[in-house]
Structure 1
Amino acid sequence: MAEGLALEFQRFNRNSRHLKRLQRETLQSVEDVGLSGNLSEEQISEIRLSEVELSELRQVLDVPVSVVVGGQDAYSKVVVVTRLLAEQVLPIVPPTHQHHHHQHHQPWRPITLKYSQTRTVSLALPDHKSSVAGGYELVHSLHAHSRPWGTVPRADVELDQRALQDPVMGSSMLEVGLNHPLLKEGVQVVITPTGTQVSTLDFLKTLLPEVLPILVYAISRDELSDQEVVELRELRRLSPDKGTSILFIRVPHLPETFSDDLPESEQHDILCKLRVLPSPVRPDEVQAPLPVIPTTVSRSHPQVPVQLFRTLCDDLGYLTMAPEPKKFCWRLVEHSYHVDSELVDGFDSFSNVVHYIRMILQSHLIHASTLLNQGHNRCMRKFILFAFDMAREIQITPRRISYAREKEAELYESLMAIASSKQDEIRVVISDTVDKMKVDLLDKAAAYEFKDGESLSTSEAICGRQVRQCTGEIQELVIGSLNGEVGRQLVDRVDVMRDSYLGTLQRCLESLEKDCRACGENPHIGDALKQMVNAAYQVQLTVTTSSSVLRSLWEKMKQLVAAMPGRTPPVIDAEWKRKVASEMISSLSEAKLTKSICAQFRERLKNSHDSFLGSLKQLEAQLTSRLEKTEGQQTRIKKVDAPKLARLSLESTSLRDMILFGMPRLDRELGRGQYGVVYGCESWGGFRPCAVKSLVPLDEKHWNDLAMEFHYTRSVPEHERIVALRGSVIDHSYGQGETPAVLLIMDRLNRDLYSAIKNGLDWLIRLQISLDVAQGIRFLHSQGLVHRDIKLKNVLLDKNNRAKLTDLGFCKPEAMMSGSIVGTPIHMAPELFTGHYDNSVDVYAFGILFWYICAGHVRLPLIFEQCQSKDQLWNCVKKGARPERLPVFEDKCWCLMQECWAGDPSKRPLLGDVEPRLMEIMEMGVIKLQECREQIDENEEDSKVDSAVDATEQFGFIAREDVVQLGNSLHYSINGLL
């Protein structure tokens, strides 16, 4: 027992150290990303492990494992501890209910058993954080100090009346140091206090934050007292959502002759017979425990008293009334695996304790690895999003600058055209405005009150200076009114053209301004551009004397007004005012005014245009520098940060899968490739049958590539056209531990498309496969992924010949592709060799795949068959070589192939357009096969039958039964044609 438990704790600590390393490297990786300056502090905070996650990880990885033993009395607790250690360390005091004299037992202090090279006993006060001993050791004389001991003296574990009244001694814990294999791994055994004022719940509340607990409750009586029921009910509050897991153990009754006064040798013999201690005696010599009432309520626990079992089931909810014995298993509760409480009935089935403790330890490891893996996956998702944002910025920013330049040029040319070619329209505007306002202006002038009206008399002549003053005021009145109205008319015409360009231009400038502010060098350029556009290209709607255009109009009008003659001093009256205003209006020249306005407008437009281009050039230089930095950041994320996190993710989830499902049992070899071997596997993790891809990473880069493949493959949602990756396990024992092997477990299918076509496939089945492949690629694209290695051997077929894509080794999000030249040569699009490509490379590869599907064989196209090496093959593809047309190809199939493998990626069709075209080809094939079937049914003559058979053979059929069978198996019924 002790050896088995020691192995479990060793295994737990080994895995715990592994997880601590992963946690440490994860935290360091995130900090390295922050120090690199590639991401903002806000972005870094998004990928850090939260305080809650760190706290939960600490609770599993950074505290010692403690087997916390509670129970009905000191006897039951000590018996369980004795059985765990396979050694009697503590005194066994018979419970009072087994003896007639019913002696009173002293309360017991809490006890901690921990590892020590030599046997030691001491008293210690718990520190301020927990109830675990190790705070302050008390200088106190114990009975164990006075003589050698095998069993801790009873007086040292009991609390006498004096100790109970002393708060220091009453709260002290007995520390027992043992050189025991069970405790070597840092494991502690803690026994809760018995008969003291400190409740078990209060004791555990202070204990649990500093230990990883395995709760054991020892039962020595056939019923639970009311106080014990309350105590157990309170314990459920420790974890109300998941339920506190407790291992209940019923201990055997001692014989009446047993006493703690017996010599240790006699106690040992009795304990061996009760199987509390290991015994060399045969099973038939073991003394049977005292009989219990045989009435049972569950086949799981046939010897458990009814009342006790029902209390644990119905009243407390720890156990369930299982009609059949159940296996130990995890229960998924809120994304974590929980182990249900169990009852071990006597020491005959005490081996179940090892299995239960293993399940508890493994559930903690699963929880910790899941937390880490969630953090890894969150980081990877953020990295992909950041890379997408960076790629978008790299692509969009130059286009925005070009767009701004283009729109500004259109706006400039359009407004220049207004100023140059629409002078007549402007002159008419001015003339019409003057004619409409003339009468109203004369009336306003006649009724005008001069500013210095008190010194002017309407009936007396005035001097020349006063005449000029009065004339100026009338001029201000007339020209001001004309200026405002003419300005409004011009605004109406200019704004129509301006608004068609300025709105989109301003939005583009706002976007550039945002990018410019991110540069941190000159955050005002974007603002300057917007202000310049507003100032240059709009006549302000609010007509004020501050408007530069209207001010120019004002000054020109004043220049064109003829000076008033003053031979004789006039009489300042309404008639004079009217006459002055009339002469001023008549002296205006619409042609000269129009010409002046347009000239000023053109000059202003040109200056604004030149200023805009200069500012835009300055902005472009700054943004180009920023984009170079962004490309460097994106490269680091793709080549350094993401692969590092992906590898940590692979390790954390592989450990989790190993704990949950174990190492897969490999059967015969199914195939091998450049980097690994594929084996069969009967079942793993509840999936059957499986294929196990075994890979041994050769170097760091290979590790990173494998980790990225694993992450992207496992992150793809389950889809009927994609082979599902079920899990992974890392075999650290491979290569004597120097070169661990990574095992990727996935669904096993019947065969690949290469072998299927080689052995012969009917035409419509091949068409259905092409449609399946197109749907699979389209689904990957919808997830932002590019497969990059579409070929015959990466298409697997199930028993119904339905296709699924596999081997996502080169599959990556478009933004995470670093321009690597990957794939199979004849399936590689020419742009792959340039390092700049997108998801259209999968469309190209599909076109080559469709050639094989339509050809019905796996031989290389002639032009590629002549190539002597891979380099020649690549050069052939780069020069534009494509497979030849075969006689069996229909026009629509050949056109589809050619469009898919077009040299210009922009001319390749979208997969959403490919699917209906494949459906149309399938429909035509079904119709032709139907016609062939009718010919076979209607014509009995040999020549006609031969001709019908020839027609069917063109489509890969040899008998009409094939037509019927195939038509019924098609996923798409083609509108019920068959």
Structure 2
Amino acid sequence: MQDKNRPITITSNGGKSSSTLPLSTSPLPIHSSVLTQQFSDIIRRYKYYCQHIQRLLKETEKSYDEINDTRVLAPEKMSKIHLSKSDREYLDALKTRPLALIICSQSYSGKSRFVNELLNEQLLPESPIIDNNAVVRMIRIKNHPIHGASFSISGSFELINADIMYKAVSWATVPRDDLIVNGTNEHNSLLNNDDNLTDDYEQQETASLEIRKPLELLSDDLQIVITPSNQNLNMKQIYLQITENIVPIFIYIIDQEILSPNDIDELRFFRSIVPNEPILFIRIDQSDNSSNMSEAPCVQTFRQLCDLGFLSFLNTESTDNTSDTTPLFQSDMIDNGLTNFTLFLNYVLKHIDRLTIRAVGILQRSHELCLDLFNDSAFDMARDILITPKRLSYAREKEKNLYESLIALTNSKQNEIQKLILQAVDEMHEVLADEACSLEIPGIELTDQLTVKNARDLKKCTSAIQEQILVRLNETIANKLLDSINVLHDNYIGTLTRCLFSLEGSRDEDESELSASKALQE
């Protein structure tokens, strides 16, 4: 027979821990100082890793800015290595938001019992002071040297000095009327001076109670958030309310033998809206009714959670912790959780390790992509260094061939041009003589024998006749050359086109750009 007082642990990964932080292997009582010390060590190491991650992020952004300023990589390549908006928000959340244990349960009784045991004090009233049908508001517990409490609404304005909204309280256990929505006590010890705050049950969201007091287990970087009970809110509203400005660690207390149909529906809906959030299920029901059942209650509960997809009979924990669409790791279940908190510490340690591993994975992917781009750029530069001298040599050779071809073409047409000029002169000889005789030159005085009077007038007449003859010859020669110019143009263009085609064929042509040979043809 199995000892019924012995803690039973059911985990999705065989109870193995990947952390190197030394934890006590013997069962720790919940009031043990070793528990408090180990819990503080876990949170302290988490914050140290977060600071190191932020330092890596700062150095990464500085390096990317230098790369962008020096134009080493093209802008389209730089856009690939920058962190996405979701990744940047995740890294910023690790820096600015504290960790929070989100305590959920089948009933308020399970939440209050677990929190009181965890804090080792009777902070929350338990049954029968508050029954499981009461409408209980959300509770947030923080560590602070001064004992105080306040009410706040999610998404409301934040005060510059947050201390003024807390009122000093003297109670050790939270009064019932401060927790119950629509309490019957009109003289609430905390609200009797606040006329503007109403607790209308029909509102979509009620004010949450924030408690701060000296708590050895908690620190400035850790909070406890207790979900509201029996409020008229859907699961998505509750999730947004309890996870505001925190990094959540979900803990679900099972204080009954098995999950009820309503519990199963709520868990199924929770998994549908946030499939990447694991949950630690802790059974605290120690009633002995297994003799009347074919299976122990813990086994039945385990099967229910397997059917919901939170747990598995096999080790399905993924080694890829960087995906946003799959859980960081599978949920776990601890039986008789109040008698041994070592397993609880193991889960918290694994959870925050996965958070930091995911953050490091985001930076690693960005660094690897940047290095890949640099490797590609270096390969392209090395290739250019090897082939550029060959391209220059080839271009010089083709340029020389083009020059020689054009010179040969010009020389071959030289005789034809000379023949055209001589032919034009012969044809216009008589016409030019007649035009020279009839040319009127102003400012010239002739003698009776039609001769000029002095050498200056003779020179002026000679210049005018030469100019007239050259103009007429140029017009005639130009008209005769028009036909041969088209032939010469085709020869020149044909030679240039062949050379350009040859040069362009030595590289991969970009079809989106107009090549020089096509432009020359157009």
Pick the aligned partner of 1:290 from 287, 290, 309: 287
For 1:104 and 1:236, locate their aligned partners in 2 and report how far apart those are by CA, in whole Å. Answer: 24
The alpha-carbon distance between structure 1 residues 493 and 201, as it changes in their structure 2 partners (threshold 3 A), is closer
Deviation at 1:212, TM superposition (A): 1.2
- Asked if the contact 2:199–2:207 (Cα under 8 Å) also holds between the matched residues in 1, the reply is no
Q: Which of these residues, 142, 153, 175, is aligned with residue 125 of structure 1?
A: 153
- Deviations along 1:744-795, one digit per CA (max 9) or x if unpaired, are xxxxxxxxxxxxxxxxxxxxxxxxxxxxxxxxxxxxxxxxxxxxxxxxxxxx
CA offset at residue 376 of structure 1?
0.9
Counterpart pick for 1:46 among 73, 80, 89 = 80
1:321, distance to aligned residue in structure 2 (A): 4.2
What's the offset of the Cα at 1:78?
Answer: 1.4
Q: Which residue of 1 aligns with 2:501?
A: 503
Distance 1:498 1:38, change over 3 A: closer
Change (3 A) 1:193 1:345: same
Q: Which residue of 2 aligns with 1:304?
A: 298
* Residue 373 (structure 1) aligns with: 364
Shift of 1:213: 0.9
The partner residue of 1:150 within 141, 147, 172 is: 172
Question: For residues 345 and 211 of structure 1, do their structure 2 counterparts lie closer, same or farther at Cα, with a shift above 3 Å needed?
Answer: same
User: Any idea what SS the aligned residue of 1:339 has?
Assistant: coil
Q: Distance in 1 between matches of 2:252 and 2:174?
A: 22
Does the C-alpha gap of structure 1 residues 350 and 479 become closer, same or farther in structure 2, counting only changes over 3 Å? Answer: closer
Task: Show CA shifts across 1:497-548 (max 9, x none).
Answer: 444323345789999xxxxxxxxxxxxxxx9xx79xx9xxx9xx89xxxxxx
- The 1:245/1:60 distance shift into structure 2, 3 A limit, reads same
CA contact (8 A) 2:258 2:298 kept: no
Structure 1 residues 52 and 394: CA distance shift in structure 2, 3 A? farther
| Matched-pair contact (CA < 8 Å) for 2:142–2:213 | yes
Q: Do the aligned residues in 2 keep the contact of 1:109 with 1:172 (CA within 8 Å)?
A: yes
Q: What is aligned with 2:432?
A: none
* CA spacing shift, 1:492–1:138, aligned 2, 3 Å: closer
1:355 is paired with a residue whose SS is helix
Q: 2:67 maps to what in 1?
A: 33
Post-superposition shift, 1:208?
2.7
Q: What are the residue-to-residue correspondences of 1:768-783 with 2, within 5 Å?
A: none
| 1:360 counterpart residue number | 351
Q: TM-score by structure 1 length?
A: 0.38
The two structures, once aligned, show a CA RMSD in angstroms of 4.5
What amino acid sits opposite 1:119 in the alignment? H
How far apart are the structure 2 equivalents of 1:507 and 1:388? Answer: 22
Match for 1:122: what amino acid? Answer: S
Greater relative CO (CA pairs within 8 A, separation 6+): 2
| 1:110 CA displacement | 0.8
Unaligned 5+ segments in structure 2 are 1-34, 185-197, 421-474, 510-514
Is the alpha carbon distance of 1:135 and 1:249 closer, same or farther for their aligned partners in structure 2, counting shifts above 3 Å? farther
Which residue number in structure 2 is paired with residue 219 of structure 1?
A: 254
| Aligned residue in 2 for 1:65 | 99
CA contact (8 A) 1:79 1:251 kept: no
What is the distance in 2 between the residues matched to 1:14 and 1:366? 13
Structure 1 gap ranges (5+): 97-102, 253-288, 431-475, 512-526, 543-978
Amino acid at match of 2:222: V
- Per the alignment, residue 46 of structure 2 pairs with 12
Superimposed CA distance per residue, residues 305-329 of structure 1 (whole angstroms, 9 cap, x where no aligned partner): 63x4443222x2222346xxx7x95
Partner of 2:6: none
Number of the residue aligned with 2:115: 81
Q: What SS is found at the alignment partner of 1:338? A: coil
8 Å CA contact 1:107, 1:159 repeated in 2: yes
Q: For 1:25 and 1:296, how far apart are their aligned partners in 2?
A: 60
1:110 aligns with 138
Cα distance in 2, alignment partners of residues 159 and 190 from structure 1: 17
Find the partner of 1:318 among 303, 306, 310: 310
1:55 Cα deviation after fit:
2.0
Distance 1:94 1:402, change over 3 A: farther
Higher helix content, 1 or 2: 1
Q: Is the 8 A contact 2:321 2:357 kept in 1?
A: no
Once the 2 structures are TM-superposed, how far is the Cα of residue 330 of structure 1 from its aligned partner? 4.8
1:580-606 CA-partner distances (Å, limit 9, x unpaired)? xxxxxxxxxxxxxxxxxxxxxxxxxxx
Deviations 1:186-236, CA, capped at 9 Å, x for gaps:
111100011222344312123335221111111112233333222111110
Residue 231 of structure 2 is matched in structure 1 by: 196
What is the CA distance between 1:79 and its match in structure 2?
Answer: 1.8
CA distance in 2 between counterparts of 1:318 and 1:135 reads 42
Could you say which residue in structure 2 is the equivalent of 1:339?
Answer: 329
Cα gap change, 1:313 to 1:139, in 2 (>3 Å): same
Superimposed CA distance per residue, residues 902-945 of structure 1 (whole angstroms, 9 cap, x where no aligned partner): xxxxxxxxxxxxxxxxxxxxxxxxxxxxxxxxxxxxxxxxxxxx
Identify the residue that residue 36 of structure 2 maps to in structure 1: 2
Quick one: structure 1 residues 493 and 122, their matched pair in 2 at CA, closer, same or farther if it must change by over 3 Å? closer
Determine the C-alpha separation between the residues in 2 that align with 1:105 and 1:381.
60
| Residues 334-372 of structure 1, C-alpha deviations (whole Å, 9 max, x = no match) | 757722122211134542211112121111111111001
Secondary structure (helix, strand or coil) at the match of 2:269 reads helix
Question: Matches of residues 890-969 of structure 1 in structure 2 within 5 Å?
Answer: none
Q: Any residues of structure 2 matched to 1:591-670 within 5 Å, and which? A: none
Q: How many residues align?
A: 417
How far did residue 20 of structure 1 move? 1.2
Q: Percent identity among equivalent residues? A: 27
Question: Residue in 2 aligned with 1:642?
Answer: none
Letter in 1 for 2:265: V
Equivalent residues of 1:113, 1:177 under 8 A apart: yes
1:658-710 deviation line (CA, Å, top 9, x unaligned):
xxxxxxxxxxxxxxxxxxxxxxxxxxxxxxxxxxxxxxxxxxxxxxxxxxxxx
CA distance in 2, matches of 1:397, 1:331: 47
The question of whether the paired residues in 2 share the 8 Å contact of 1:123 and 1:137 is answered with no
Shift, 1:165, TM fit: 2.3
Aligned-partner Cα distance in 1 for 2:160–2:224: 14
Q: Quickly say closer, same or farther: Cα 1:178–1:504, change in 2 above 3 A.
A: farther
1:245 to 265, 275, 278: 278
Q: Kindly provide the CA deviation profile for residues 866-923 of structure 1, in whole angstroms up to 9, marking residues without a partner as x.
A: xxxxxxxxxxxxxxxxxxxxxxxxxxxxxxxxxxxxxxxxxxxxxxxxxxxxxxxxxx
Amino acid at match of 1:232: L
Secondary structure of 1:89 counterpart? coil
What is the CA-CA distance between 1:303 and the residue it aligns to? 4.9
How far apart, in 2, do the equivalents of 1:180 and 1:423 lie?
A: 107
